[in-house]
Structure 1
Amino acid sequence: MSDKDTPIEYQFTNTKHQYLAAVIGNLMFCAHGSMMGWPGPALPILLSENTPLKTGPLSNEQLSWIGSISALAAILGTFTFGFFTMFLGSKRTMLFLMLPTVIFWVLIYIGDSYYHVLIARFSTGWTGGGVQTTVILYISDIANDDIRGRLGSFSPLSRNTGVLIVYILGATIPYKIVPCIFVFIPIIFGILFFFLPNTPQYLLEKGQVLKAEKSLKFYKGYTGKSVDEVIAFSAEFERQKVIAKKLKVDERIMLKDIFNRHSMKGLLNGITLAGLVHLSASLVIVTYSVVIFQKVGVVHFDPYISSITIAVMQIMGTLCTTHLSDSMGRKILLIISLLGSACGLFAFSLYSYLKENGSDLSAFEWVPIASLSFVIFIASAGILPLFFVVTVENLPSKIRTVGLTICNIFLNLASFICLKLFPTLTVIIGLHGCMLIFGIACILGSLYILFVIKETKGISMDAVQSKNHSTNNSC
């Protein structure tokens, strides 16, 4: 039986261990989400006269650095944990991520100065750079082809759940109690994740064949009760051994492995999607939601309720991805997400422009909240979670870790640029001008996806690479 016959004649349908591993692994994303969301309810306290910081209320300059330093730290984290993943594997690297996560909450609890908070936010970004690389690689290695997109969408769902929980608790319980609760998430993750086996691919690359076979049986839900299952498992294991042997022979990555048409196209797709993640304005909306609503004249809504609404819309959008990414397909979902974001941004831009020019829009005050909520929802249903999935699927296996690291660097660089420039641009070209630019970028991004990105739904990552390679050779 050939390798190509395996997915046709037999499907490994006992995927409960894959779901279990994805849920446990994504506790790390939930922990990171709570770190990301912490400034939402905490900054109003740190800006007030009742701040717990002995250095006094934050200045605007301090506020800007607390808001953006995590994006710069994420670039360092991407390098650091990308390097760790290459030598330690995704599992051990994920376990190491516990440390900076725990440090963040300890600093928030004991911190009484601006610099404590700044270091804590640096830890947020450093952890984020690692989470974005390791969790996605881990899940892509253990997941069946038909549920890979669904399991991949667990990561943004978990992150957004962490954001929502910290928004709710941050608005309802004392400042110092919040870290005492959230510090347990990474600890629980570490205890549970420790007992899961490492990925078969990593174990094979390290020559641990028996452990790799046991790991593959665990993740495939192998029972050995039918002849078809035994034959299919044997073929799958042999296929993975061939891949691991090839990677081991070619373990050293040369410049020619990156600077060839196949690899460069995968990197270009990943970098473009990374830019579109932030040009959808989703992170800007989440970070500056209160400021945006104040600038546009919406003053009758509690900022805490607004932030919680945004977090709920993020989760609802991500839930849609969980069901649609493996049924509708990645490509169409990305296009719908970007076009939908453009519509919401254009609606907000028009409202803002009319408001700034003196139009009476008191009967339409719901438009800014509805339009931005729709942007968050539709972006969370497509471009935000699928960036990671599609990027991993389009990168050649030999440079997958390095390639994802490069794409994450551009992701975080785009994040820093957008968060730093947005307040300045609103003064220069107005709020409506900023949202108009974001909307146009989404339109252009949807055209890029339509004509360049290939559909990868239900196709093994090896088949995706073969298809892309043959396409490149025929061009």
Structure 2
Amino acid sequence: MKDKEKATPNEFQWRNAGNQYIAVCLANIICLGHGLLLGWLSPSLPKLLSESTPLKTGPLTNEQLSWIGSINSIGAICGTFSTGLLTTFIGCKRAMLLLSVPSILFWALILIGDTYYHVLVARIFTGWTGGGIQTTLILFTSEIANNNVRGRLGCYTPLARNIGILTAYILGAFVSYYTVPCIFVIVPILFVISFTFLPNTPQYHLLRGESKKAEDSLKFYKGCKGEDADEVNAINAEFERLKSIAHEKKTDEKIYLQDIFNKAAIRGLTIGVILAWLTQLTGGFTFVTYAVLIFEKVGVSHIDPYIASITLAIVQIMGSFFTTQLSDHLGRKFLVLTSLFGSAFGLFSFALYAYLSHIGFDLSSFDWMPVVCLSFVIFIASAGVIPLAIVCTVENLPSKIRTLGLTISTFGYNIACFTCLKLFPILMSIIGLHGCMLIYAVTCTLGALFVLTVMEETKGRSLDQADKKVARVYKKSYGKLPSLPSTQMAV
């Protein structure tokens, strides 16, 4: 750097991101708790479907099973919009703290509920928590994270969720039905205790005119100790930039049609919605939800379905961890492409096995194949498209419509989730397990072709890059540049 007195946030590499890592880890405790909510269902299904069910309403029917498996997506839609609205008024930190309420209510209903309807309402609370996390946690992470670690920190969310799912699988397989909620309810309580002490984001305080709190928050998350001249200059420049952006945002909050109907915005929205659907059409979340049921259906005789499902959860964590290490090195597009093509290969292989089993071939020597195929699919999906979909969405959306675009893509994600979970047990009885796997495989292949031809690499790119594209479109179409608020303000 030629002039140390003029260090800018873009030139200065923040050396101390420790507080960002701590904050994101504490924030993801609620995501760990959400993983417990999600993972509870799979090991509990055999109990709920059996004659010795703990429910007074009797064993679940296939229709009831499809609703219990999918109703959380309806709750997620409600959680997305309600938490998004709360975030506008009270900030992401306080909105995230409120997500502990539906988590606690879930475990209370499982503990005291003894009917199908108690479980159904509890699953709505599962979705409510998940929808709120989708709205707030990515916003919180992107507002406090440096550009060079944003991808990695964003991948901590699916990693925490997957650890929760694995924990629920293990305890659900070996601990009694009514003991599980007594243990897991501790997690959302722990989240409230630990996360309360973190400051809200500097962007939130600036929008409310709280300059001193905003400056303190910025210094905390950047790890600024004021001992280095470059660091002080950079923190001052960043603070002035955020103040300017907050002022622009206050004076230019309205979104006009030209903000949405331009090439860059439409492209970003399209990528966001399609990636949201592809996260579900790899089958990963469906397999996690119905893991034990799938292994029982495919006729795995020498492997305990519970152990097989635990294996899937471990592989899912390995995939998520892989992404946290490599998303900022190998690039988003490469990982997403590899993930989709790999998922398609694994799904085609599973479909072939399931079809041969369906028509009566003796596959007893290949009992390991369903576990290997699904493990591969879940690993490769968890190492690419599932954790990176929302990161790529944020990085491809112009800042002014980023909140709106993220909401639209989250809505699409939840609709896709509901559709897949609701139809899977029904389609499995109509076209067979092999037919379901074939549909997923074909969709992954088509999705990979879309990513290959449409999506650009965004590794290491500032979030302001999307805004520069919009500026070029505006200048060409309208002869002037738009007012561009901060990308980090509206993530």
Compute the TM-score of the two structures, normalised by the length of structure 2: 0.92
2: distance between equivalents of 1:297 and 1:271?
Answer: 36
Maintained 8 Å contact 2:9/2:235? no
- State the shift of 1:50 in Å: 2.7
1:244–1:8 Cα change, 3 Å: closer
In the TM superposition, what are the counterparts of 1:127-276 in structure 2 within 5 Å? 127-276=129-278
What code does the residue aligned with 2:48 have?
L
What SS does the aligned partner of 2:164 have? helix
Maintained 8 Å contact 1:262/1:469? no
What code does the residue aligned with 1:217 have?
K
2: distance between equivalents of 1:171 and 1:11?
Answer: 47
Maintained 8 Å contact 2:38/2:289? no
2: distance between equivalents of 1:96 and 1:407?
Answer: 23
2: distance between equivalents of 1:8 and 1:415?
Answer: 38
Choose which of 424, 443, 446 in structure 2 pairs with 1:444.
446
Maintained 8 Å contact 1:261/1:472? no
- State the shift of 1:252 in Å: 3.3
Choose which of 34, 42, 45 in structure 2 pairs with 1:32.
34
- State the shift of 1:250 in Å: 1.4
Aligned to 1:84: 86
Aligned to 2:368: 366
Is 98-107 or 291-300 further displaced after alignment? 291-300
Choose which of 78, 98, 102 in structure 2 pairs with 1:96.
98
1:96–1:252 Cα change, 3 Å: farther
Is 394-403 or 109-118 further displaced after alignment? 394-403
Aligned to 1:350: 352
Choose which of 69, 72, 75 in structure 2 pairs with 1:73.
75
In the TM superposition, what are the counterparts of 1:101-116 in structure 2 within 5 Å? 101-116=103-118
- State the shift of 1:389 in Å: 1.1
Maintained 8 Å contact 2:9/2:238? no
1:234–1:215 Cα change, 3 Å: same
2: distance between equivalents of 1:254 and 1:309?
Answer: 49
Matched, 1:297 2:326: no
- State the shift of 1:474 in Å: 7.2
What SS does the aligned partner of 1:300 have? coil
Is 45-54 or 326-335 further displaced after alignment? 45-54
What code does the residue aligned with 1:170 have?
G
- State the shift of 1:172 in Å: 1.6
1: distance between equivalents of 2:387 and 2:286?
Answer: 17
Maintained 8 Å contact 1:262/1:472? no
What code does the residue aligned with 1:216 have?
L
Aligned to 1:119: 121
Paired positions, count: 474
Matched, 1:341 2:338: no
- State the shift of 1:294 in Å: 3.2
1:246–1:15 Cα change, 3 Å: same
Identity across the alignment (%):
58
Aligned to 1:424: 426
What code does the residue aligned with 1:452 have?
V
- State the shift of 1:375 in Å: 0.1
- State the shift of 1:262 in Å: 2.7
Task: Give CA-to-partner distance per residue, 1:65-101, whole Å, 9 cap, x none.
Answer: 1111111111111111111122222111101111111
Is 409-418 or 297-306 further displaced after alignment? 297-306
Task: Give CA-to-partner distance per residue, 1:30-75, whole Å, 9 cap, x none.
Answer: 0111011111122222222332223333233222211111111111
Choose which of 310, 313, 316 in structure 2 pairs with 1:311.
313
What SS does the aligned partner of 1:9 have? coil
2: distance between equivalents of 1:422 and 1:383?
Answer: 21
Aligned to 1:396: 398
1: distance between equivalents of 2:10 and 2:243?
Answer: 20
What code does the residue aligned with 2:210 have?
Q
1: distance between equivalents of 2:44 and 2:331?
Answer: 39
1:127–1:229 Cα change, 3 Å: same
What SS does the aligned partner of 2:8 have? helix
Task: Give CA-to-partner distance per residue, 1:18-41, whole Å, 9 cap, x none.
Answer: 000000000010011101111112
2: distance between equivalents of 1:327 and 1:90?
Answer: 29
1:186–1:339 Cα change, 3 Å: same
Task: Give CA-to-partner distance per residue, 1:190-234, whole Å, 9 cap, x none.
Answer: 111111111111111111111111100000000111211111111
1: distance between equivalents of 2:82 and 2:74?
Answer: 13
What code does the residue aligned with 1:61 have?
E
1:50–1:423 Cα change, 3 Å: closer
List gaps (5 residues or longer) in structure 1. none
2: distance between equivalents of 1:457 and 1:165?
Answer: 32
1:415–1:221 Cα change, 3 Å: same
- State the shift of 1:473 in Å: 6.9
